[in-house]
Amino acid sequence: MTDHAHVLTDRGSLNRLFGMMLVVCGAMLWGVSGNVAQYLFSAHGINPGWMTSVRMLSAGALFIAAATTVERGKVWKVWTERKSRIGLLIFGTFGMIGAQYTYFEAVAAGNAATATLLQYLNPVIIIVYFLIKWKKRPTGRELSAICLALTGVFLLVTKGHLDQISIAPATLFWGILSAFGGAVYSTQPAALLKKWGAAVIVGWGMIVGGLTMSFFYPPWIFHGQLTPETLFGVAFVILFGTLAAFYLYLVSLKFLRPIETSLFGCAEPLSAAVVSVVWLNVPFTALDWLGAACIVSTVVVLSWSRKAGQRHIEIRN
């Protein structure tokens, strides 16, 4: 092998390592931000609906501002096409709110670790949806993923005891709902993302969702304790848990394949669980960790399935 080939190989390895670091850092920020939200809800009385409105409006405006500097023509042109306009309104109203508001409600009802793990069921929901839609039998990998997901939920919800539910019913309700919302969020805007780009679609989707939420939870009506910790927590969720995390994820796609980003993205539920235990003293038993491992394994199994990778496009929340 020539020296030039060695240089190219080393550069490729460094790029992959850099991409891995980016996606892991982004996933960890998502996981940590869920715990910050939990702290705001439990310790400072912040309303999950208000947090959703503020997060989507603020982050959406920042996404659009960033997109304007790079793709100014696309930012406003997306609203001139009827099909794209309708798609954006559906995405913002059902995709964004369906994924983000339900997730925050699950966090408020329980904890960030359980809420994040339940939301991570959305790839399995997507696979089941397409199997039903296309009237196909599941492959061995898909069947394994479905069984792992069901086992993980069973362990999280019952701690292995058939006669009891070990988490609040509201946590289970909102968590499963957030998984369905995440499935819509991940699949509905596929054509829009391809045509207009992620920053434009996600930015406007957040603004549409934030404006819709404002009818129910106006961001200018604040309930809770207004302290420096509250302001820092809200800013962290918006700037680091949304804007920075999404940016790191997008940049990582330049160095890694989508399959690899999905695998390393598993750092999100794991970081959420670890931070919940260490910082917020959330009790996590051995069966909880086993359930978490089962749910995370579904992503690993589906990521290695070429057909699964072709059936859906994933974007983050």
* Threshold 0.95, pTM exceeds: no
Is residue 6 a part of any domain in this protein? no
In a domain, 103, yes or no: yes
Percent of the chain with pLDDT over 70: 91
Residue 199 CA to residue 187 CA, distance in Å, equals 16
Asked if residue 274 is part of any domain, the answer here is yes
2 lies in some domain: no
Residue 13 in any domain: the answer is: no
Residue 4, domain member (yes or no): no
pLDDT digits (tens, 9 = 90+) for 129-169: 888 988 888 888 889 999 999 999 999 998 877 777 889 99
pLDDT in tens, 86-131: 999 999 999 999 999 999 999 999 999 999 999 999 989 988 988 8
Look up the domain containing 168 and give its range.
18-311
Question: Quick check: is 229 in a domain?
Answer: yes
- Angle between the 97-109 and 169-187 helix axes, to the nearest 10 degrees? 160
Number of domains making up the chain: 1
HSE at residue 116, side-chain half, CA atoms within 13 A, is 33
